[in-house]
Amino acid sequence: MKIDRLMALIMILLERDVISARELAERLEVSRRTIYRDIDTLTFAGLPIFTHQGAMGGVGLMKSYKMDKLLFTQHDIQTLLASLNSYIQLFGHKELVYVLEKLHAIHHDSGTDIAGGKYAVDLSLNQGNESLRNLLSFIETAMNEQRYLVFDYVDRDGRISSRKVEPYQVVFKESSWYLQSYCVDRADFRIFKLARTSRLQVSRDTFVPREFTPLPMNGAEWMSQEWVDVTIRIHRSVIDKVIERFGEGHILQMGEETCLATYPIIKNAFGYQKLLAFGDKCEVIEPLEVRTEFQNYIRSILEKYER
């Protein structure tokens, strides 16, 4: 949006004594011609902008116009920058580039590299998930405008159903994206995994928002099923998979190359897939029943290749 770009341009001019049109164009991701038009617009609006010709020349604001820009603490800016950078990775909204420029300008005089920060979150999408950006954009539109989402959904058993939902919250958890919403077809709040949706569209119909409390996503939906503590022998190279999911307390014994650990699962295909994710770096030790059933599960996979 032009107004956001003009505000970002003003903040840059407040930050720098003189800056070239080329650098302005690069920072705001527009052409030099657009920069010249923006400078004319600001000049007509009464801002005291000056220009210098030559190799060391550029554009600047008269010092008498500048003021104290201390609005946030350094920690505030680091937090905002991390959040906005993650948001840009997901949505690619160009107008956020201008917001980032404003934040950079606010604390430029602190002498600290706030662009780097102490923590960085990389939410950039791989090639297989590029379509996710469109999904997130549609969902954002539906939430902002309080419009229904309609889509086809594939459940864990492979059944396909058409859904119409009121979207309320998008959640990123354990490398997957989920939509928390009210499902009109089931007359209840439900969680949908975005990767299982297809033909998602924003409906023209609007809804009146309900009182929404985020649904728990801590595995509570599985609590009613029988969990089994499985003892596994794993290679030390995959020990992180146990620690990240259940904590260091599940590591029972460390060896030179392997270790023993407990890995709770539900005795079904979903649980065996979790064990299978370790590949050949895992062996189920006990209970014997799970070891046998896991062997049968692997054999059923092999049969598809032996036929």
* Each residue's pLDDT expressed in tens, for the chain with a length of 307 residues: 577 788 788 778 877 778 888 888 888 888 888 888 888 888 877 778 887 776 667 888 776 655 444 445 666 666 666 666 666 666 655 556 666 666 666 555 444 454 455 666 666 666 555 667 778 889 989 999 999 999 999 987 788 999 999 999 998 887 778 999 999 999 999 999 988 899 999 999 999 999 999 888 865 554 446 789 999 999 999 999 898 888 889 999 998 899 999 999 988 888 899 999 999 999 999 999 999 999 999 999 999 998 7
Domain of 181? 128-206
**Based on the structure, what is the number of domains in the chain?**
3
Would you state the pLDDT for residue 208? Answer: 95
d(CA 88, CA 209): 27
Q: Is residue 216 part of a domain?
A: no
d(CA 87, CA 90): 5
Q: Is 298 left (phi over 0), alpha (psi -120 to 50) or beta?
A: alpha
- Least Cα distance to 14 among 51, 69, 58 occurs for 69
Q: Is residue 220 part of a domain?
A: no
Is 231 exposed, middle or buried (CB count within 10 Å of its CB: 0-12, 13-18, 19+)? middle
Would you state the pLDDT for residue 222? Answer: 44
Would you state the pLDDT for residue 166? Answer: 97
Same domain? For 3 and 110 the reply is yes
Would you state the pLDDT for residue 132? Answer: 74
Same domain? For 103 and 156 the reply is no
Would you state the pLDDT for residue 91? Answer: 62
- Which SS3 state, helix, strand or coil, does residue 91 take? helix
Same domain? For 294 and 198 the reply is no
Would you state the pLDDT for residue 118? Answer: 67
Would you state the pLDDT for residue 112? Answer: 47
Would you state the pLDDT for residue 114? Answer: 47
Q: Is residue 101 part of a domain?
A: yes
Same domain? For 32 and 133 the reply is no
Same domain? For 5 and 97 the reply is yes
Question: Which CATH number fits the domain that encloses residue 169?
Answer: 2.30.30
Same domain? For 162 and 81 the reply is no
Same domain? For 232 and 289 the reply is yes
